[in-house]
């Protein structure tokens, strides 16, 4: 079985276990601290990743994650609560299999959230950042490496506009309506799991990054490759500045992500309400 066939197999298993996947379903990946979003899903059906053939299972015990299907603000959704990361040892292709499979199930819109460090000195902790563009700095890794399957997209896909303009406009309008301050910027993805040295942070800022994190870009690349509409929002959990660098612990990132979700959750709910 090649990768394309294997993803088809994964997709048919998901379709068998979930309720019928309606047109207009939004897939959303809930990053660190945003698990609370999935709590409000109505009429839910859950499917743990470890039950699904072909999906990588997280090495972090108890954090394997699951799909949660239902409705949020009247919009049909499939939340992916928990994601696998490149730093766990999987390939970029493996960590994006679930996105390919949801596409095969008919999903055409993807909302990605994550926790990220702010490298733009003007951006504050706790503020959501709309991702307008990205830098794939997961050096040597691309989810499109290897055989290309034309059924999904081109060998050399255009990346001039990965994050859908209409969805970005909608997100801005929702933030304005709720009086939530939201920054807009470029997300740079690193493999991790190390956080940045001051020299690395300085380099990323010089390269044009506003925020840095360890996820999202591989998922956005495969979704855009297949022509899905992609929206990405980072939750800025720490300042990551070279000249006043502070120690960051994973616990602090998670704690801040929880606090910052105070703005992120209503914002995402408003977006879902109006996504159409
Ligand atoms: N660097 C990389 N990943 C992160 C950070 C950071 O400062 N904060 C949250 N995820």
Task: Indicate the pLDDT class of residue 245, thresholds 50, 70 and 90.
Answer: low
What is the tens place of the pLDDT at every residue in 208-244? 999 999 999 999 999 999 999 999 999 998 888 877 6
Environment class of 202 (CB within 10 Å of its CB; exposed 0-12, middle 13-18, buried 19+) = middle
Looking at every residue in the chain, the average pLDDT score rounds to 93
Domains of the chain by range and CATH? Answer: 3-274 (3.40.50.1580)
Mean pLDDT across the stretch 68-75?
96
The number of the ligand 1 atom at minimal distance from the alpha carbon of 196 is: 1
Three-state DSSP class for 10? helix
pLDDT digits (tens, 9 = 90+) for 12-27: 999 999 999 999 999 9
Q: Which of 47, 169, 25, 170 is nearest to 108 (CA)?
A: 25
243 with 198: CB under 8 angstroms?
A: yes
The pLDDT tens digits of the residues spanning 97-122 come to 999 999 999 999 999 999 999 999 99
Alpha carbon separation from 250 to 116, 130, 197 (Å, rounded) = 11, 22, 15
**pTM reported for the whole predicted model:** 0.95
What separation in Å is there between the alpha carbon of 205 and the centre of ligand 1?
14
Ligand 1: residue of 85, 87, 117 to mutate (most ligand atoms within 8 A of CB) is 117
List pocket residues of ligand 1, CB cut-off 6 Å: 115-117, 195-196, 212-214, 237-238, 240, 248, 253
d(CA 99, CA 109) in angstroms, rounded, equals 10
Enter the tokens of residue 209.
């990054």
Q: Which residues are catalytic?
A: 32, 63, 85, 87-88, 115, 214-215, 238, 250
Query: What whole-number percentage of the chain has pLDDT above 90?
Result: 81
CA of 125 to the centre of ligand 1 (A): 12
3-state class of 176 per DSSP? helix
Nearest CA to ligand 1 atom 3: 213
pLDDT digits (tens, 9 = 90+) for 126-183: 899 999 999 999 999 999 999 999 999 999 999 999 999 999 999 999 999 999 999 9
Helix spans in 18-96 (H)? 36-39
Residues 38-47 have pLDDT tens digits of 888 999 999 9
The protein residue whose alpha carbon is closest to atom 7 in ligand 1 is: 117
């Amino acid at each position: 079985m090649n990768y394309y066939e294997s993803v088809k197999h994964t997709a048919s298993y998901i379709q068998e276990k979930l309720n019928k996947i309606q047109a207009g379903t939004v897939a959303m990946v809930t990053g660190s601290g945003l698990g609370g979003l999935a709590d409000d899903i109505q009429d839910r059906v859950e499917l743990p990743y470890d039950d699904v053939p072909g999906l990588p299972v997280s090495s972090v015990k108890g954090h394997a994650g699951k799909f949660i299907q239902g409705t949020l603000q009247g919009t049909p959704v499939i939340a992916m609560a928990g994601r696998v990361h490149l730093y766990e040892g999987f390939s970029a292709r493996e960590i994006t299999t679930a996105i390919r499979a949801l596409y095969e199930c008919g999903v055409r819109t993807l909302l990605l959230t994550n926790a990220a460090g702010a490298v733009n000195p003007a951006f504050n902790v706790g503020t959501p950042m709309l991702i307008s563009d990205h830098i794939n700095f997961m050096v040597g890794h691309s989810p499109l490496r290897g055989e290309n399957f034309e059924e999904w997209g081109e060998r050399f896909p255009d990346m001039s506009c990965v994050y859908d303009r209409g969805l970005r406009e909608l997100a801005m309008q929702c933030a304005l309506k709720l009086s939530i301050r939201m920054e807009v910027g470029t997300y740079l993805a690193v493999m991790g799991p190390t956080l940045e040295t001051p020299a690395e942070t300085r380099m990323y800022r010089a390269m044009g990054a506003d925020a840095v994190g360890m996820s999202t870009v591989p998922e956005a690349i495969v979704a855009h490759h297949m022509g899905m509409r992609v929206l990405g929002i980072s939750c800025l959990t720490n300042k990551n500045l070279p000249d006043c660098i502070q120690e960051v612990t994973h616990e602090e990132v998670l704690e801040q992500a929880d606090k910052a979700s105070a703005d992120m959750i209503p914002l995402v709910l408003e977006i879902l309400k109006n996504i159409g």
